């Protein structure tokens, strides 16, 4: 793993954007694996700024997202589909037909997982962007998820429901299930960049980089991938033992 420690969230976002933008500029037909949450918002802002200032085009870029809440339609303000339009898709020239997320309101959940896995088999991520949960989850692969997992329906842990409740009117409104790419779908990416900021992530970051490789901390699976860059700010790096 390559580890880049930056001063703050803004510089973390810029470093991560450099990696993704290099992929986009090199291959105008690249497939971007994308994440939601607070961690990548600044990186998306940098990508939008670059699009506006330098004209980097997303006309032929496609994307696959990590996850989506079960039960929320794409029009719901808390859905990840909505998040992606708001924070990236509506602000660059990507064709929405080339973007993909699991369908939160699909009638048959297993059929939806099968559809998404089939799609991922045809759209290998040129680069996969990840955040990390305070419990070490990646995507919604919670502790205990096997490393060979593919897209599946996840029962969210109380810890994750609590973490995510800040975006909802009350904790009772947070969906209790989500679709998530599995760890094996994530590891299939050609390149991975994982961003984390703040003290709240320090434990998970330490486990990911220095802890025992185990499904107990899903992010440790990334140590088995040949091209992972961890971009973290000083607070998220604060528990690392090694220089
Ligand atoms: C989001 C996702 C999650 C988040 C993680 C961190 O698509 O897959 O794994 O990356 O929960 O969330 P934030 O960035 O909000 O701290």
Give the DSSP per-residue string, 148-177: T--SEEEEPPHHHHHHHGGGSSSGGGS-SE
With a Cβ cut-off of 6 Å, ligand 1 is lined by: 35-39, 66-67, 131-133, 137-140
pLDDT digits (tens, 9 = 90+) for 48-84: 999 999 999 999 999 999 999 999 999 999 999 999 9
Taking 70 as the threshold, does the pLDDT of residue 170 lie above it?
A: yes
- Listed in sequence order, the residues at least 6 apart from 122 whose beta carbon sits closer than 8 Å to its beta carbon are none
Q: Which residues are part of the catalytic machinery?
A: 67, 135, 137, 142
Atom of ligand 1 nearest to the CA of 195: 14
- Asked, for residue 52, whether it belongs to a domain, the answer is yes
Q: What pLDDT score was predicted for residue 242? A: 67
pTM exceeds 0.85: yes
Q: Whose CA is nearest to atom 10 of ligand 1?
A: 131
- Asked, for residue 161, whether it belongs to a domain, the answer is yes
Atom of ligand 1 nearest to the CA of 200: 16
- Asked, for residue 39, whether it belongs to a domain, the answer is yes
Average pLDDT over residues 181-192: 98
What's the number of domains the chain is made of? 1
Strands 177-180 and 152-155: antiparallel
Separation of CA 22 and ligand 1 centre (Å): 23
CATH number at residue 53: 3.40.50.1360
Separation of CA 194 and ligand 1 centre (Å): 10
Q: Whose CA is nearest to atom 12 of ligand 1?
A: 37
| CA distance to 128, 134, 179, per residue, from 81 (Å) | 17, 23, 12
Q: What pLDDT score was predicted for residue 167? A: 84
Strand-pairing partners, residue 74, are none
- Asked, for residue 242, whether it belongs to a domain, the answer is no
Print the domain residue range for 169: 2-192+204-225
Q: What pLDDT score was predicted for residue 106? A: 98
- Are 191 and 127 within 8 A, CB to CB? yes
How far apart CA 14 and CA 231 sit, in angstroms, is 10
- Are 3 and 132 within 8 A, CB to CB? no
Q: Whose CA is nearest to atom 15 of ligand 1?
A: 37
Task: Single out the residue of 121, 155, 13, 172 nearest to residue 21, CA to CA.
Answer: 13
- Asked, for residue 220, whether it belongs to a domain, the answer is yes
- Asked, for residue 234, whether it belongs to a domain, the answer is no
Q: Whose CA is nearest to atom 4 of ligand 1?
A: 131
pLDDT digits (tens, 9 = 90+) for 99-126: 999 999 999 999 999 999 999 999 999 9
- Asked, for residue 143, whether it belongs to a domain, the answer is yes
Atom of ligand 1 nearest to the CA of 40: 14
How far apart CA 84 and CA 99 sit, in angstroms, is 9
- Asked, for residue 107, whether it belongs to a domain, the answer is yes
């Amino acid at each position: 793993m390559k580890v880049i420690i930056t001063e703050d969230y803004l510089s973390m976002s810029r470093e991560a954007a450099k990696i993704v933008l290099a992929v986009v500029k090199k291959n105008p037909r690249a497939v971007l694996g994308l994440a939601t949450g607070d961690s990548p918002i600044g990186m998306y802002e940098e990508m939008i700024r670059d699009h506006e200032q330098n004209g980097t085009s997303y006309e032929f870029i496609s994307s696959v997202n990590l996850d989506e809440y079960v039960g929320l339609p794409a029009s719901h303000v808390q859905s990840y589909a909505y998040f992606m339009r708001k924070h990236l898709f509506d602000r660059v020239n990507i064709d929405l037909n080339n973007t993909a997320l699991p369908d939160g309101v699909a009638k048959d959940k297993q059929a939806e997982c099968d559809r998404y896995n089939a799609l991922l088999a045809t759209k290998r991520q040129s680069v996969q962007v990840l955040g990390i949960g305070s419990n070490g989850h990646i995507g919604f692969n919670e502790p205990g998820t096997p490393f060979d997992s593919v897209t599946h329906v996840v029962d969210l842990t109380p810890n994750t429901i609590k973490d995510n409740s800040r975006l909802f009117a009350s904790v009772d409104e947070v969906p209790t299930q989500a679709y998530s790419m599995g760890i094996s779908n994530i590891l299939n990416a050609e390149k991975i960049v994982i961003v984390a900021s703040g003290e709240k992530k320090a434990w998970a970051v330490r486990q990911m980089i220095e802890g025992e490789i185990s499904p107990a901390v899903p992010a440790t699976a990334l140590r088995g991938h040949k091209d992972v860059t961890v971009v973290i700010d000083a607070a998220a790096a604060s528990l690392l033992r090694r220089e």
